[in-house]
């Protein structure tokens, strides 16, 4: 079951989540996941120092996802898709879509 989230409401929804995972794709199409604690700054998720591999991936392929797992068993996962920009050692993710997802069953 999926519930769309208006990206303008992301700040309120993020309050219900903790640490997330930045998902990037390498030039060889391998997915890289790193644990992150992004901050919402001027409507964008800012991931501080995710590592060289993630920075290189985001620079080469700016389509990324930030996944926030549920804090309680059976809760919703927040998936935020976006366009990444590398700024120094950080990645700035402008959300293009977001959804709360819960496995059925």
Residue whose C-alpha is closest to residue 68's, from 58, 77, 59: 77
Instruction: Report domain extents, the chain.
Output: 2-49+58-101
CATH (residue range 2-49+58-101): 2.30.110.10
- Exposure b/e, 64-94, CB count within 10 A at least 16 = b: bbbbbebeeeeebbbbbbbebebeeebbbbe
Q: Report pLDDT digits (tens) over 64-85.
A: 999 999 998 889 999 999 999 9
- pLDDT band of residue 104 (cuts 50, 70, 90) is low
Q: Report pLDDT digits (tens) over 11-37.
A: 999 999 999 999 999 989 999 999 999
Q: Nearest 5°: CA angle at 13, between 44 and 90?
A: 25
């Amino acid at each position: 079951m999926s519930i769309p989230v208006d990206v303008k409401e992301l700040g309120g929804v993020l309050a219900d989540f903790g640490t997330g995972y930045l998902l990037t794709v390498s030039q060889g199409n391998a997915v890289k996941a790193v644990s992150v604690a992004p901050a919402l700054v001027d409507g964008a998720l800012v991931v501080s120092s995710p590592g060289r591999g993630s920075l290189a991936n985001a620079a080469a392929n700016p389509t990324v996802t930030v996944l926030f797992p549920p804090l309680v068993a059976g809760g919703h996962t927040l998936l935020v898709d976006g366009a990444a920009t590398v700024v120094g050692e950080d990645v700035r993710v402008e959300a293009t879509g977001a959804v709360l997802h819960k496995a059925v069953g």
